[in-house]
């Protein structure tokens, strides 16, 4: 959208913000244990911050109408286009979720939703328990999908810690899966080195190369009590 101009960088007659409807409010609710910061540069107001929340203690952000400015004529002030609070709330959630691993925006996603109108934690816990429960279920599904993905990538990469994303670690932490091998602190000690036989990167903690199946570390191999395959 090339004709979208931020009014504060324009040298043109300035568009004054028209008064917005004070009743146009929506409430974004988060039970995601991460802080969210969305900055939409063409909108005013355009900066939205939601602190980390939880099912027991959700965080809320009440948003109102924002505006963007359209360039219609070089000699005219920019045209103000209002965006309703519902669209703002929806786009805060969509933009945050956009591109997240294992998030499908329906059954498997971070615990974020919005309610039209102005609400606080108490009224949400009292009147919208069903929405909170739904968000908790969806977030749990998302965590589980992330864990599955983490397990698959971990296995496929022969234990390379780089394949485990921050979201996966968060999911394992939230589901209290401390026994996950990729959640152990020492996974960072494992080093990826070149296999002397075939040259692919292999995890130095394991005696066999996952690519060419050569026993690279004979001592470690025998220590495990394993037998050579015939």
Nearer to Zn ion, 76 or 200 (CB): 200
Whether 27 contacts 58, CB under 8 Å: no
- The rounded Cα 11 to chain-centroid distance in angstroms is 37
Tokens of 109: 């996603």
Q: Closest distance between Zn ion and the C-beta of residue 159, in Å?
A: 15
Q: How many CB atoms lie within 10 A of CB 92?
A: 23
Nearer to Zn ion, 81 or 155 (CB): 155
Q: Closest distance between Zn ion and the C-beta of residue 151, in Å?
A: 23
R_g of the chain computed on alpha carbons: 25
**CA–CA distance, 73 with 77 (Å, rounded to integer):** 8
Nearer to Zn ion, 62 or 195 (CB): 195
203 closest CA partner among 158, 155, 161, 164: 158
Q: Does 54 bind Zn ion (CB under 5 A)?
A: no
Residue appearing with tokens 């968060």: 170
Single out the segment in contact with Zn ion by CB under 5 A; choices: 26-34, 61-69, 184-192, 208-216: 208-216
Q: Does 209 bind Zn ion (CB under 5 A)?
A: yes
Residue appearing with tokens 């004070």: 22
**What are the C-alpha distances in Å from 18 to residues 10, 63, 72, 140, 222?**
18, 17, 17, 43, 77
Q: Please select the residue that binds Zn ion; options are 198, 222, 223, 226, rule is CB under 5 A.
A: 198
Of 61-100, which residues contact Zn ion (CB under 5 A)?
A: none
Q: Does 49 bind Zn ion (CB under 5 A)?
A: no
Q: Does 211 bind Zn ion (CB under 5 A)?
A: yes
Q: Does 192 bind Zn ion (CB under 5 A)?
A: no
Q: Does 121 bind Zn ion (CB under 5 A)?
A: no
Q: Does 212 bind Zn ion (CB under 5 A)?
A: yes
Contacting residues toward Zn ion, per CB under 5 A: 195, 197-198, 209, 211-212
């Amino acid at each position: 959208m090339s004709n979208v101009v931020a009014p504060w960088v324009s040298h043109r007659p300035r568009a004054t913000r028209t008064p917005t409807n004070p009743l146009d409010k929506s409430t974004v609710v988060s039970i995601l244990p991460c802080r969210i910061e969305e900055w939409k540069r063409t909108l005013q107001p355009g900066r939205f911050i939601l602190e980390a929340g939880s099912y027991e203690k959700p965080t809320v952000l009440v948003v109102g109408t924002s505006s963007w400015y359209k360039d219609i004529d070089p000699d005219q002030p920019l045209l103000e286009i209002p965006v309703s609070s519902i669209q703002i709330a929806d786009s805060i959630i969509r933009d945050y979720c956009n591109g997240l691993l294992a998030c499908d925006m329906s059954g498997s996603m971070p615990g974020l939703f919005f309610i039209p109108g102005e609400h606080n934690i108490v009224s949400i816990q009292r009147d919208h328990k069903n929405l909170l429960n739904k968000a908790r279920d969806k977030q749990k599904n998302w965590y589980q999908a992330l864990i599955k993905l983490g397990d698959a990538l971990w296995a496929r990469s022969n234990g390379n810690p780089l394949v485990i994303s921050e979201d996966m670690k968060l999911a394992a932490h939230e589901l209290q899966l401390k026994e996950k091998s990729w959640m152990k602190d020492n996974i960072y000690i494992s080093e990826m080195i070149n296999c002397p036989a075939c040259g692919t990167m292999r995890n130095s903690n394991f005696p066999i190369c996952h690519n060419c199946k050569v026993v690279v570390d004979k001592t470690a191999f025998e220590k495990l009590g394993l037998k050579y395959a015939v």
